Each structure stands twice: as C-alpha cells, then as structure tokens.
Chains A and B, each alone.
Chain A
Amino acid sequence: MGEPFDISYVFEYLVKLLPTLKVTLLIVVSSIVIGLGVGFIVALPQLYKIPILRRISQVYLSFFRGTPILIQLFLFYYGLPEVLKLVNVDVAKLPALYFVILTYALHSGAYLSEMIRAAVGAVDRGQVEAAYSVGMTGFQAFTRIVLPQAMAIAIPVFSNLVIANLKDTSLAFSLGIMELTGKSQTLAVMSRHFVETYISLAIIYFVISFGLEKLFHLIENKLLRHERRLSSEDKEPRLRKGKEKPFRIAAKLGFGRGGTENEA
C-alpha cells in the first residue's frame, strides 16, 4: 500500500493542512459557545429541581451521552431535514457545516451541563446563605459568590471537554466537511503518502491540544489564587488541596480523557 515513506512530505502536508485548521477551530469554538448556553439551560432545572423540565433535561443528557457522536452526526444530517419537512421547513439545502456545529454543540452541551451542575454544587451552600444574610438577591449571590468559584472548579473539566471536542471534530469529515481530517484524507488518497499525512495531522492536533491544556492551566491558577497563595509556605498540603477538588469532580462525572471519541 502507498508510496515509500518520505519524511519531507510530513512538513509539506503540515503546510497544506494548516489552512483547514480554521474550519476545525470554527466547529470547536462555535459548538463550545453554543454548548455552554445549552448546558447552562439544561443544568438549571437540575440545580433547582424543577419537576418536569428536570425529566426532559435528563432524557436529553442520556441521549447525547449514551450514543456515539458519529451516529448523532448522521441522525442530525439525514434525519433533521426529514423531520422539518413535516412542518414545511426546508433545510435540505443548508451546508453540512451547520448540521455539524449543531450536533457538536448539543453533544458538548450535555457534558457541559453536567460540568456546570457539579461545579455549582461544589460551592458550599453556607456561602450562599451568607450572601442572602448580607441582603443579596438570589441573582447577586449566584453571580458574585457562586459563579466565580464554580468557574475555577470547572476549569479542569472544561479543559478536558474542549480538547475532547477538538478531537471529535475529526469525525466531521464523514459528512464531507473539509476540516483537518477531511483534508488529510483527500491528500493521503491522492498522493498515497498515508503515513506522512497522518503524522502531520497528528502533530497539528497534538500541538493545539497541548496549547489549550497549558492555557487552561494558567486560567485555573489565576482563578484559584485564593487557595494557592500559601503554597510557598506549606507546599505539600496546599497543593494537594488545590488539585484534589477538580480532580474528584472530574472523576465523579466519569470523564476519562477523550472518552467520547472512542465511541465512534
């Protein structure tokens, strides 16, 4: 199979693949942003234990967490136009990219809502009571006291989700999207330099994932400064304490690293 290995192609394809990076990033960024909105809306009925909405959000969660993303992509791309046809909305002509972003947004939204629920739940109730007792409204207590702390707690999980989402976008090529993986597929088939193409592809994914990981780590450190400040004095217990919490939540949610991509 293929042409003999030639390392120089790796670099060449790296350059050729880079322009399609913006499609990949477009999918990641827009689906995470929309997913955050969806996740927040879905988390609310769970946090406030609203009877019927809570059920609905649970059904949503179990569907998107319980089916492979590849199947979800197909269902939305082929199924949604059929369903919408029934109400006389024609979306068959819409570019596939819209369906891809929608699917990834809803998929991430499910995980993000669990992240939000766990993080908000991890801020102790006493602080909310204290906020009420100084006369804050529920909204003030949430935005001023709970949210900043929940965000810090959520960052490690969020970081995992974004990276998993980035890697999951490689499945979008199955709907003909010319993002990184789609493009490399074409390059590989045309040139028959399969290994070189996939090495370049892996390098790009790795560099971006690595960069994201470092970036989120920085943000986490900044947000958790109230827990970390003593670390120079009694390093051991402090550091452990700071790290332990987010990890425990991640474990609770069952996010093995990049678990979602295995499903496909």
Chain B
Amino acid sequence: MIKLTQIKKSFGRNEVLKGIDLTVEKGEVVAILGPSGSGKTTLLRCLNYLEKPNEGQITIDDFTVNCKRPDKKDIHTLRQKSAMVFQQYNLFKHKTALENVMEGLVIVKKLPKEDARKKSVELLEKVGLGNKLNAYPSELSGGQQQRVGIARALALNPEVILFDEPTSALDPELVGEVLAVIRKIAKEGITMIIVTHEMGFAQDVANHVVFMDGGVIVEEGKPNEIFNYPKEERTKQFLKRITPEGVYSI
C-alpha cells in the first residue's frame, strides 16, 4: 500500500504541490490526469524522490519517509521500493537492452550474473523484445526503447511502478505497442501509478482515476465516475476539452 500525506513541493516561490493526500491500494492501477503544470509529474517524481518534497510523508509498504528531514538511507530504501518509467525512456545509452535490464539486478539487488541474465531475458521476451537483447538504445525505435524501460522497471520487483507520461514522446504509430505492454502487466496485479494524457487508455486500464489541477487533487474516483459523471466543474471542463467527441478508444 502507498500512502501520501500532505505532500508539498515548491520550486522557489512557485508552489507546485499544495498538500497532496493519496492512498493507493496494492494491485491498484491509478491514472493521474490533469492539464500541464498541474503538478502530476512532480508528484510522481516526489514518490521516487527524484524531486525532494518540502513537506509531507511518503509511505510505501510499511516504510515511511518524513519529507521534512529525510535520511539519505531512507531515500535509498524508498527508491528501491519503486521503479520509474520515464517519458524520455532514459535508457543507459552505453549498455545493450539486456544490460539495461540487468544493471539494477546485478548492481543493486546483487543477483549473480547468470540469474540476472535469465530474468532479464524473460522480461524482455515478455515485452516483445526477445530478438533485440543485444541492441543498443540507439538501434531501437522509441517504442522499443520504452518497452526496455518497462522491462528494466519490472526487473526490480518494485512495490509500485511509476509511469511518467510513458507515451508522450512517441510517434503516434508506436503508442499502441507500449500501451499494450502496460495493459498486459496491469493485468498481473502490479501496482501502478500512471501519469498520462491517453484518456481512453486511462479509462480502460485504471481502477482509480485522479484528476489534478493547480497542485491539488480536484477529484478522484472510479474511472466511470470521473469520466462519465464528474462532479467538479474543473474536471468537466478539462474532459470536455480533451475529448470533444466523447471518449475515444485506441
């Protein structure tokens, strides 16, 4: 279970997160929606401590970090409980697809190389890249790179996988293959938090939808509630603008 309590974050004078409370149950797939600048990516990055929240508490699976005075060790432990899939993939460019996935297993989890390799090959096959094990990121398409990124995140067996707009940097043609992979792992009961602009996908895959604007959570609930019967005016506005002809599906 993941619990965020009163997470606050400012960049200089600009308050990006104004006290976020959020609870995510185990196995839940949460989609965070909202306009640009609403703080959704910052929230996700705070969870992995890539941004330091100024205040609040982060609890992942009985491990709590108080963001006011976090210990270096606490941050390290917290990071090991989550994994991130980035908008720009952020693969290690000097390592092959296989090495990218193995890296965390060998260096962080201290797995013997053979075991790490076996597990990594399995995962890359799962994301449909069994034939690209020895390709460098520069030899892969965006969609393929992102799938390696997902395999790399899966490899660590994290409590939660954080997706930061995983398809925003992709060619429209390649979005489908990445979404298909996310859909597949969502079915396996892995806890996921996804920041996305793919409304149809969010409605389809998520069990819980969070709508953020201006650094606060405006509304949250079941996908059906949020998409079809939004209560808040701001949510209605946003959805209307995003899906002018009703919700589309991919």
A interface, CB within 8 angstroms of B:
124, 126-127, 129-137, 140, 144-145, 148-149, 152, 226-227, 229-230
**Do B79 and A127 have beta carbons less than 8 Å apart?**
no
For this complex, 9 residue pairs linking A to B, each with C-beta atoms less than 8 Å apart, are A127-B92, A129-B50, A129-B90, A133-B83, A134-B104, A134-B108, A144-B107, A149-B93, A152-B94
**Which of B92, B93, B149 has a CB less than 8 Å from the CB of A131?**
B92
Assembly CA distance A135 to B152 (angstroms): 12
Q: Which of B64-109 contact A (CB under 8 A)?
A: 76, 79-80, 82-84, 86, 88, 90-96, 103-104, 107-109
Residue on A nearest B152 in the bound complex, by CB: A134
Cβ-based interface call for B156 (8 A): yes
Find chain B residues with CB under 8 A from A230 CB: 138-139
Q: Are B86 and A136 in contact (CB under 8 A)?
A: no
Give the number of A-B contacts (CB < 8 Å).
75
Q: Main SS of the interface on chain A? A: helix
Q: Tell me which residues from 141 to 165 in chain B have a Cβ below 8 Å from any Cβ of chain A.
A: 149, 152-153, 156
**Residues of B contacting A152 in the complex (Cβ-Cβ under 8 angstroms):** 94
B48 and A133 contact, CB distance less than 8 A? yes
Contact B82 A133 (CB under 8 A): yes
Of A131, A135, A226, which one neighbours B156 at CB under 8 angstroms?
A: A135
Q: How far is the CA of A137 from the CA of B103 in the complex (A)?
A: 13
- Min Cβ gap A221→B in Å is 14
Which one of B80, B96, B103, B137 has the highest number of Cβ atoms from chain A below 10 Å of its Cβ? B103
Provide the bound-state CA to CA distance between A161 and B138, in Å. 29
Partner of B107, one of A132, A136, A227: A136
Cβ-defined contact, B80 with A226, below 8 A: no
Report the bound CA distance from A124 to B89 in whole Å.
12
C-alpha spacing A132/B92, complex, angstroms: 12
B50, B138, B153 — most chain A CB neighbours (10 Å) = B138
B94 touches A226 (CB 8 A): yes
Determine whether the beta carbon of B79 is less than 8 Å from that of A132.
Answer: yes
Partner of B90, one of A126, A137, A140, A144: A126
Q: Is the CB of B139 within 8 A of A135?
A: no
How far is B138's CA from A4's CA once the two chains are assembled, in angstroms? 61
Residue contact A126 to B79, C-beta cutoff 8 Å:
no
- Contact yes or no, A148 B94, CB < 8 A: yes
